[in-house]
Every structure is written in structure tokens, then in C-alpha cells.
Chain A
Amino acid sequence: MTNAALLRATDIDKSYAGVHALKGASFELRAGEVHALIGENGAGKSTLIKIITGAVAADDGEIQLNGNAITHNSPRLAKQLGIAAIYQQPALFPELSVAENIAIGLEEPSLWKRVDWRARSGRASDLLARVGARIDPDRDAGDLTMPQQQLVEIARALGANAKILIFDEPTASLSEEDAQNLFKVIRELRTHGVGMIYISHRLEELPEIADRVTVLRDGRTIETCLMSEVNRDQLIHLMVGSELATVFPKKTVTLGEVILDLRQLGRSESGIHDVNLSVRAGEIVGVAGLVGGGRTELARTIFGLTPADQGEMLLRGKPIKIESAAQAIECGIAYVPEDRRRHGVILDLPISANITLASLDRFSRLGAMDFRREKEIAADYTRRLSIKTPAIFAPVATLSGGNQQKVALSRWLITKPSLLILDEPTQGIDVGAKSEIHALMTELAGQGVATLMISSELPEILGMSDRIAVMYGGTIVATLDRAEATQQRILALALGHLEAAEGSTPEESQSLRDLFAPVREEIKASGTTDEELLDQIEAAVKEVRERDRTSPQSRER
């Protein structure tokens, strides 16, 4: 790390209609450093980086690159100056192939240049391999899953050979393995002198990769410190401006009747099979597992998006076949999908209309909307989830990424379903709002809502669930009670608790060891020295990788 500033943003000011997003924020990036940028939802992080990349114009302030001020910034100019970014909102072309998506981001947009399709495809394959993604460059980007799209964007940004690389929540939808892969690439780029800005709400991953961290609050720079000199609680304090209790607001609720009962449920096409699970009124069942374990697929099957073709499903004791989402909603099932970034909200509609969209009948009398009640409930949720906006009638497009997520979540929370399925409910949401969402879940459980919560965050799973179902290979391998569940047990089960797979090259073992170093540390730190368990985990990971390699399809599903 050198000490000269590669990029310096000074006193940046930016107002959108009615919102003062940045109030004189400053930021400095050195060559060869990873500089984390954190702050609550709506603090102005994305706005700051959009100003750096020229995607939006600042009202005031100066951006310097190597000491020279950049004037008339635009995405094109920034690209020429060697600044590349992955934005929070996906910026892919759904109708175009992956290879072309990558190429359009990288090639000089000169009208008359002839396209070299073979070179495009080759470069795309190379870049995708570099981020460890097994994606066919010929596929349409719109056909990819959320994590795959994220990997394509990362690959595209890497291909720019930029001097400055900006990541706006790159890991929000990535699996642990993909995230580790990304970190490896980031570390490598750091040794080549690339300066990187890294935005994330997953504070626990920052010590792993960040050298320095800058905290934004309400559009102002609060502090910049060395990552090694702060801990998580201090960071939260800086972000929020006050102490924050990070205990889970779990309350014991007397459980009611069995709402959902799955018996040998399966869907061959999605790779789900023999799922046995019951959820009672007032109960929160956490669903843990790795990406690819079939968690989202199971949720989609219950919700009728990909109807089951094996086994039985009972709702309140009555067998039922759910063939469509409309039918599921009618039966009182709500599903908050994982990918809320693109499809969870209607960007042009106001916040209030977005929130009431799934329960319009409750807000209308004789077919006429009761706007006062709509306004009340929207105001209530806006306050409770601290959705940052000047007015509840503002279009959702004007919200920050995390606040859009809160709107999507609110829509389903107010439907008062009898079964609520949440897929990664707090992804991309800041620590403060996270505990508020947990409090809401508890409140709903108190009212007798049965909840199925899919989450990759083990603390969330452990903190919020009455029981924990662990998925592996498309089925539930075990259901643990709250009392008997531990991080290690869940991890071991999620990895299949498998008989060790035999035979591996030394390189593979090494990369496995790298991959598992953090988990190993974590388990060690928690006091267990169950070496056998760790070995099993490693073996299982290897098996999963092996399977992925031999059948790329299994990941793409």
C-alpha cells in the first residue's frame, strides 16, 4: 500500500428532489488498498460511488484522480480513466448473451468497430473462470439466476483492468463459496496496485478483506479508520450514532395447530425430494443450508411456482395441491422471494401503493380504495422499518437499494398470511433495520402466523427459529430444536454430514483448506476442537465441488 491518494473525493454534495443525499462527504482511496464504505440504508454510499463513476452528477465538490480534478464526468469518461464499478442494481442486458454483456461493458463504444464474436466469447469464458463461475457465455443474461448475474457483473468489472474498482454490495446474493472466490480475486488485484472500494452490509466479512473503512451517516463522512483498529461494535456505533442491541427479539409463543405439513414432498425437475416438514401456527422454522441445497426451490414449490409432483402437502390438516401462486395467495400463503432487487417492487409506483399491493382487498370498500388507511399503514411501516424517504408517496425508484428491499418486505408482512415464507429476509438491510424486521417477525408469530425463514446467516437462523430444518441435496436432512442447534451442527448437516469422498490432488486439498480457513477459525474460536467434524466438512465441500464440475446444470437450476 502506498500513501499517495489514487482517488480523492472532497466535499461532495448531492440533492435529489427533496432529498439531501450527500452533505459534503469526503473519501480517499489509495492504490493497492481495499477501502470499505459502510453506513445505514440511505446513508449515501451508492450515490457517492455513482458520482465517482459519472453515473450521476454531483452538485458540488471535487473528484481528483492522481491529483487531477475530473470535470464533466460521465460513465464513458470514467471508463476511459480506468474506473470500473459493479452497481447495486443489476446493470445487465437481459436479452443479450453473457459474452456480449461482458463485451459491451469493456469494449470502446466506437460505432464502426467490427465485433469479434470469437474473441468476445473467449474473453467471457476466461473472466468467468476467474471468478469461479460456471456459466455458458452463450446464454441470455436474463435467464440467469440472481447470483449468476452478480458473477457476470463481477467478471465484467474485472475485465476492465481498471485502476479503480468499485463493488456495491457484491456479495449480497452470492454463496459463501462464490464470495470466498471473489475475495481471493480482490486480494490478488490488491497486490497489483488496484484501488478498490467495497460496500457491504455484511460487517463480518470486512476484516477479511478491507484495509481501511469509511463510515457514512446521513450523507456525511463520519470517520475513516484502519480496519485492524476497529471492531464490529465500534463500526455499528459509528454507523448508527448510538448503541444498538444486537440481541434477537425472540419470544416464546404458545404454538397453535399445524398449518403446513409436508409429506415426502418433491419435484423432480427442481431436484427436491422426500421433504418432510411441519410448521405450526406461531412457529418460526428456519431453513438452513448451502446455496444449491434446494432451499429456494422448496419455497417455490410450496408457493406453487414450481408445483410439486411427488408426495403430499397439507394445509391445516387438509390435503391440497397448489398449482399456482394465485392459488397459494388465496390459501393464505405469502412468499417474499430472494431476488427483491428486480422483481420485488414496482419502481414507478409510490411506496404506499407498493406496500398495499398484495392486500388491496383489505384496503378497499365496495371496490373503492381507502387511501386514508393505506396512508396510515404505509406511514406505520415506513417508520418502523426506518424506510428513508421524504414522503410515502415518493416513487420507490427514488429509494436506496436497502430501502427498496424494506418496501418489498413490508408488502408481504402486512398481508397477514397464515403461512409466511421469507427468503433471505434481511439481505442488503443495515443492522438497525435488521433487528426491527426480526421484531416484526416475532410480532407476527405472536399473532399466530406460521413462518418459514430461509437464511444464509447462521446467527439469524439460530436467533430467530423455534426449529431449524437443514437442507442438503434437495431434501431436509434433519430438523433441530432451538435448544439442540449449534452453528457447527448446522454447518455439518448443511454439508451433508457426509462420508468422506476419496482422492484429491494436492492443489485441490490446498484450495479447499483456503476455502475453509474462515469456517475453521470460526469453529475454533467458538471453543470446539472437533477435528473430525472439520475434516468431514472439507470432504463434503469437495464432493459438492466435484458434483458441480461434473454437472454444471446442477448449479444453474
Chain B
Amino acid sequence: MPKLRVDGKEIETKQGTTLLQGCLDNDIYIPNLCFLESMEDPSASCRMCFVEIEGEKQPITSCTVNVKDDMVVKTDTPAVRQLQRTALRLLLSVHHVDCKHCPANKKCELQRIAKFLKVGLKPKGLERYLQETEIDRNHPFINHYPNRCVLCGKCVHICRRQHGQSVWTFAQRGFDTVISAYGEAGASSLTCGKCDACVKICPVGALTFKDVQEDG
């Protein structure tokens, strides 16, 4: 089993796992939003999980490197923190922060990261850009809240893994990118009634069952 040195501490990890997973397994927290262990090819889209590795010139996303024996890693350098804080601020600038009315309140990954990085949930200095649609009700059982979604892609991944195909997909592009179940209303009623994988995996409160909460 590979032995690594992370923040001055010796750790042992599984063979062939990602650095991010190896650290998490050893109770070393690295902020992350878009990674799941079952992903073959992590999209590394949230830009949260940066670390510095000895021998590498620049900070690197820990979900895209595999552990190696004798790796020396730092998870809390100034450069790493700056990248993470910027990524978080950008996410929050397109986020409708209203935790009181959000089912994810207190178990939300975004709240956790903000606390960890000591960034307020309403940081100043960036213009706020919200989607027009507050609630997308197209799906027969599940409501989607684009302004809470961090576009991590976990719902798409988990649905595909469970059912071979995903009801959810990324649609549009750039600032307008959203998660959508377009046209799957009929098909999804077959599986979605019995499955809650996407609602459970969502790190924020962007997917909710219709009967649980309709407001907010």
C-alpha cells in the first residue's frame, strides 16, 4: 500500500486510488464538490480540490492524480487556499443563497466549504448572476433549483451508473448551463418513482422531491 506524506503526516492509502480519496479516507479534508469515487474519468470541474505536490510547479487538482509511494503533499498552502477561495466565490456569485428555506441547510457541502475556507456565503466584489428560472418543474417527481445547483454533475453520473442512461443532462452552455431532464418526463416515471439516487447525491439542495418541499 502506498505511503504518502501529507501536511507532514504519514498516511497509507489504497492502491490505485486518487490522491483526493486517499486523503479523505485518512480524515484529511480537502474541499471537493464534483468527485465521486466511482468516476472513471473525473471531470475536475469544480476546481476546489487543489493541493501542492512536491516536484510539481503548480497546484494540481487532487481528484485527477493517483497516489504514489513517497508522494509529498501539502493541502493548505497560500496558493491552494487562494485558488479555492476564488473558485468558491465564483460559485457563490451564481448561487441564490437562502439557507433558511433550503432543505440542504446544515448538511450542505457549500456551507461546509465556505466555513472551512472562512469565506462568507455572500462575498462582496463579484456581480451576482442568477438564472431566470428559480424552480424547474419539468420532471414528474423531482424539482430542480438551477440557482442552487453547482453543476457538479454528480446526479448525471449516479443516474447513468444505476440505470445505464441518465435522465439528467447538462444543457445550454457557458453562464446559461443548467441541469435538465428535458423530455424525460414520460420515460423517467418508470425508474424515478423508485429511485432517489440523484436527490441523495446532490451536495447542495438543488434536487428535491416534489412532495417534500414546494416553496423556497
Verify that A and B bind, or say they do not: no
